[in-house]
A and B are shown apart, each in its own frame.
Chain A
Amino acid sequence: METARVTYALFVRSLKRTVRRPVFLTISLFQPLVWLFLFSQVMKNFARAALPPGISYVTLFAPAVMLQTIMFGSFQSGMAMVSDIEFGMMDKFLVSPINRTAILLGRTLADGARMFIQGLIIIVLSMALGVRFVHGPQGVLAALLLAVIFGLGLSSLSNTVALRTKNSETTLMVMNFFLFPLLFMSPAIVPRQALPGWVDTIGRINPVAYAVEGARNLMVGIVEHGSLRTTIDWGQLGIAVAFLIGIAVMGMTLARMAFRKATT
């Protein structure tokens, strides 16, 4: 009970920190706008050949933008961890008699809430751009949760790097180093049909590919045999959910281990 209260206090504190940084708020609003408008304009001609007839690039792209935003926002967690260590807040938490699990847990919950809101913003923007969600609000919500689970895996990994290096630049670089290639080797930006065969093969172990296709599956439908499948592909979804939960559990376990190592 005490632990739940402390976790809540730390959760609120992390959220306040996020919300009160105007730069963060502005960027997290404008970046998806840039992705959605600019990027979709630039990319649509490249992707046209691989698109099913009558389906706009932005329709397929919207779930990917939601995912990307959550993915690239996940580093913040690690960077906030570094700043807490550097500026002594961590010491303050550690000399207090709290259950230390609350420190990571509060932060993770705040990450989840932040990601949920970021995803929601993009969903609203996509609707304004005329994207149709074929499985209704339930599908959108499920996709959002899937993306948040993946995002929590990534934010936990960023915390792992942060706790091991105690350096925010390194945290940012390590995460970018892995995420950018994974993003471009997934069908997020370029439709699957337009990807080289070997990249598509790598896609079988690329979590970003599972996340993107899973989100499309639940939001706008996936491209299959040159047309858009508008019923849920349960097989794909099942594998994606299992894979992404696996990533999240692995990330959180690593973060816990790193935290324990750094604090004892």
Chain B
Amino acid sequence: MSGLVEVEGLTKVYPDGTEAVRGIDFEVREGEFFGFLGPNGAGKSTTMKMLITLMKPTAGRATIAGLELGRDDRKIREVIGYAAQDVSVDEDLSGRENLILSGRLYHLSQRDAERRADELLIVIGLHEVAAKRAGFYSGGMRRRLDLAQALMHRPKLLFLDEPTTGLDPQNRRAMWDELEKLNREGTTVFLTTQYMEEADTLCERLAIIDHGTIVSEGSPSALKASLGGEVLTLSFTTDDPEALQQLIARGAEALRGIPGLEEVREAEREVLANLSSHAHEVLPAALRALEASGVEARIAVSPPTLDDVFIKTTGHALRQEEGKPTRWKFGARRRRR
């Protein structure tokens, strides 16, 4: 057993027949930052809800820290922390009281809970408003408080369901820093996200999930590399349309026939070509050819993005449509503000 989380054939079929998760296998290794990337309704949250013991799987098995899901649920709950997609803080309690309550739920003594709460309030920058009721907090403050609640008992493994959905870019950036720091300090993080950039920035390894199935898995760079084709772009500095046309035609002409370059095509302002082998093998020949034909151009070779990976593996772009409203026991809730 090497994985902190090991999942085999995990399946969830809702009573209405919706197959939310269709027999997935994956593992999360100790200490890693693992992510589920997929659109709304792909089965990310459902998978997470099963792993955190909130929902019973229809089939399949999973272990968390060697503990068997369905048999050792109570012990599993002790080692994990969870922050839901929709922030849940008690608005009638102060930030500090919210934290202390969470600590008590994990059997911390009142004194330990208070001490840990004060420590975390500083970390999340809420120490100055600690005595204020959480009902008065802004969205970003609530998120941070919610995250801190999940950290009160120093969980080994942190489950985060779309931790930055609904945050503005600045707060998102700050949350990322916070999560990276936690991971560096040893917490294994498993997050779901529908943002490419988030998965790319944070995750060491990720699984792309769509319609309840894992369609590909690996590190962001490996996933992108699996697409093979990097793209070579020639761009030109001239503003004169006639000169530009000429340069595009001559540049394209120069690139054609170079081994490792395919589908050389003339675009509106650029010349594009797909790389079928490594850039360091192709580029010298391309440069020589351009020099020989006297074309002055900027050359860029760019890797494919996760967007490209997503389109390639799922056959569609990462859509941001609304998920089908599924009613389940807990967790299907309204957003407060």
> Of the 9-residue stretches A12-20, A220-228, A236-244, which lies at the interface with chain B?
A12-20
> Of the 9-residue stretches B23-31, B103-111, B273-281, which lies at the interface with chain A?
B103-111
Chain A residues whose C-beta falls within 8 Å of the C-beta of B84 in the assembled complex: 88, 91-92
In chain B, positions 65-101 with a C-beta closer than 8 Å to chain A are: 74-75, 77-78, 80, 82, 84, 86-88, 90, 92-93, 97, 101
Q: Say yes or no: is A86 at the interface (Cβ < 8 Å to chain B).
A: yes
Q: Report yes or no: B106 in contact with A96, Cβ–Cβ below 8 A.
A: yes
A138 and B275 alpha carbons, distance in the complex (Å):
92
Query: Per a CB cutoff under 8 Å, which of A89, A98, A262, A263 touches B88?
Result: A89
Interface size on B, residues (CB 8 A): 32
Chain B residues whose C-beta falls within 8 Å of the C-beta of A264 in the assembled complex: 56
Chain A residues whose C-beta falls within 8 Å of the C-beta of B331 in the assembled complex: 88, 91
Q: Say yes or no: is A34 at the interface (Cβ < 8 Å to chain B).
A: no
Q: Report yes or no: B97 in contact with A16, Cβ–Cβ below 8 A.
A: yes
A17 and B101 alpha carbons, distance in the complex (Å):
13
Q: Report yes or no: A21 in contact with B92, Cβ–Cβ below 8 A.
A: yes
Q: How far is the CB of B273 from chain A (nearest CB, A)?
A: 51
In chain A, positions 70-98 with a C-beta closer than 8 Å to chain B are: 85-98
Chain A residues whose C-beta falls within 8 Å of the C-beta of B133 in the assembled complex: 20
Q: How far is the CB of A153 from chain B (nearest CB, A)?
A: 25
Q: Report yes or no: B90 in contact with A97, Cβ–Cβ below 8 A.
A: no
Scan B44-58; emit 1 where CB is below 8 A from any A CB, else 0.
000000001110100
Main secondary structure of the interface of B (DSSP, over half): loop
Q: Report yes or no: B88 in contact with A9, Cβ–Cβ below 8 A.
A: no
Query: Per a CB cutoff under 8 Å, which of B75, B149, B333, B336 touches A92?
Result: B149
Q: Say yes or no: is A132 at the interface (Cβ < 8 Å to chain B).
A: no
Known: A88-B87, A91-B54. A97 touches B107 (CB 8 A): yes
Query: Per a CB cutoff under 8 Å, which of A6, A17, A95, A263 touches B90?
Result: A17
Report the interface size class on chain A: 20 to 34
A6 and B105 alpha carbons, distance in the complex (Å):
6
Q: How far is the CB of A5 from chain B (nearest CB, A)?
A: 7
Tally the A-B contacts, defined by beta carbons under 8 Å: 79
Q: Say yes or no: is B102 at the interface (Cβ < 8 Å to chain A).
A: yes
Q: Report yes or no: B330 in contact with A90, Cβ–Cβ below 8 A.
A: yes
A21 and B87 alpha carbons, distance in the complex (Å):
21
Q: Say yes or no: is B298 at the interface (Cβ < 8 Å to chain A).
A: no
In chain A, positions 87-122 with a C-beta closer than 8 Å to chain B are: 87-98
Q: Say yes or no: is B329 at the interface (Cβ < 8 Å to chain A).
A: yes
Q: Report yes or no: B77 in contact with A88, Cβ–Cβ below 8 A.
A: no
Scan A13-44; emit 1 where CB is below 8 A from any B CB, else 0.
10011001100000000000000000000000
Q: Report yes or no: B105 in contact with A263, Cβ–Cβ below 8 A.
A: no
Q: Say yes or no: is B334 at the interface (Cβ < 8 Å to chain A).
A: yes
In this complex, which of B86, B97, B333 has the most chain A Cβ atoms within 10 angstroms of its Cβ? Answer: B333
Known: A13-B93, A20-B133, A85-B333. A96 touches B88 (CB 8 A): no
Q: Report yes or no: B105 in contact with A98, Cβ–Cβ below 8 A.
A: yes
Question: Could you show 27 A-B contacts with beta carbons less than 8 Å apart?
Answer: A5-B107, A6-B107, A9-B105, A13-B90, A13-B97, A13-B101, A16-B93, A16-B97, A20-B133, A85-B330, A87-B86, A87-B336, A88-B84, A88-B88, A89-B88, A91-B82, A92-B88, A94-B54, A95-B52, A95-B53, A95-B82, A96-B77, A96-B102, A97-B77, A97-B78, A262-B329, A263-B330
List residues of chain B with CB under 8 Å of any chain A CB. Answer: 52-54, 56, 74-75, 77-78, 80, 82, 84, 86-88, 90, 92-93, 97, 101-102, 104-107, 133, 149, 329-331, 333-334, 336
List residues of chain A with CB under 8 Å of any chain B CB. Answer: 2, 5-6, 9, 13, 16-17, 20-21, 85-98, 262-264
Closest A-B pairs by Cβ, 8 of them? A88-B88, A96-B105, A9-B104, A97-B77, A17-B92, A86-B333, A97-B78, A20-B92
Taking A21-B92, A90-B330 as known contacts, 20 extra A-B pairs with beta carbons closer than 8 A to each other, sorted by chain A number, are A2-B107, A5-B104, A5-B107, A9-B104, A16-B92, A20-B133, A87-B336, A88-B86, A88-B87, A89-B90, A91-B82, A91-B88, A92-B82, A92-B88, A96-B77, A96-B102, A96-B105, A97-B75, A97-B105, A262-B329
